[in-house]
Amino acid sequence: MQVTYISEAMPGGVNDDFVVAGERFVVVLDGATQLSESGCVHGVPWLVGRLGVRLAAGMVSEGGASLRAVLAGAIEGVCALHEATCDLAHPNSPSSTVAMLRQRGESVEYLVLCDSPIAVETVDGKVQVVVDDATSHLPGYTQEDLCRSRNQPGGFWVASTKVEAAEQALTGCLEAADVRRVALMTDGVSRLVERYGWTWGRLMDLVEAEGPGAAVRAVREAERATAPGTYRGKVHDDVTIALCRGFGA
């Protein structure tokens, strides 16, 4: 398959997103912004980089582990990297969403953990979206609320210090011949659809025609045209999108 992607920090920020891709796989990660003491001396960019390369390694290694098993192994591997220096029991330990795609022969497998969606367009032109929207239904959104809900039953699950988060991911498998395009993205980009009224097809068309940088420009334009306070959370966010094509090839 062909993969085209971009990952860019919000204006003036440090990029907490991460993308890594190869001929047969893509990983998109969205690290949670660190606002308070976390028990970790490393920080979010460190976490997403180490998690991303372990996910990539797990997907290209022989043996054919399931995406859930690859994710569990990557979480475990990252924990081992900083268990000696950091408090991994801290509830604000750095964390990340996960969106993964792997083509194996005639199959296209995907995994989504938390709110980085995967949009799948089939050859009949229909688009289905895989997203775990647990973060849209939390009892509250203060730092304390998020801390209480993170990686807890009834809350939301992210890749951090608990291997069992992998069990909470959404997974699925498609016939490669049925798939036309797949877009994996962080919520910094999916807001074009979720907030600004775009369709997934329009977003994929733009990336295909003008490259992924055009999606970033569209996000920033929409954000600048929005009155402050219209939406919960940050005005700008890091943006990452990967568009995959050519599954049948």
CB of 94 to Zn ion, least distance (A): 7
* 245 sits near Zn ion (criterion: CB under 5 A): no
Question: By rule CB under 5 A, what string of x and - marks binding of each residue 81-120 to Zn ion?
Answer: -x---x----------------------------------
Q: 102, 67 in Cβ contact below 8 A?
A: yes
Strands 170-175, 179-185: parallel, antiparallel or unpaired by DSSP?
Answer: unpaired
* 48 sits near Zn ion (criterion: CB under 5 A): no
CB of 192 to Zn ion, least distance (A): 33
**Cβ atoms within 10 Å, residue 211:** 14
Helix (H) or strand (E) holding 22: strand 17-22
* 42 sits near Zn ion (criterion: CB under 5 A): yes
Q: DSSP string spanning 27-40?
A: EEEEEPP--S--S-
Q: Which stretch binds Zn ion (CB under 5 A): 25-33, 37-45, 123-131, 211-219?
A: 37-45
* 159 sits near Zn ion (criterion: CB under 5 A): no
Q: Which stretch binds Zn ion (CB under 5 A): 5-13, 79-87, 116-124, 153-161?
A: 79-87
Residues in contact with 6: Cβ distance below 8 Å, sequence separation at least 6, in sequence order = 19, 211, 212, 213, 215, 216, 239, 240, 241
* 44 sits near Zn ion (criterion: CB under 5 A): no
Residue ranges in contact with Zn ion by CB under 5 A: 40, 42, 82, 86
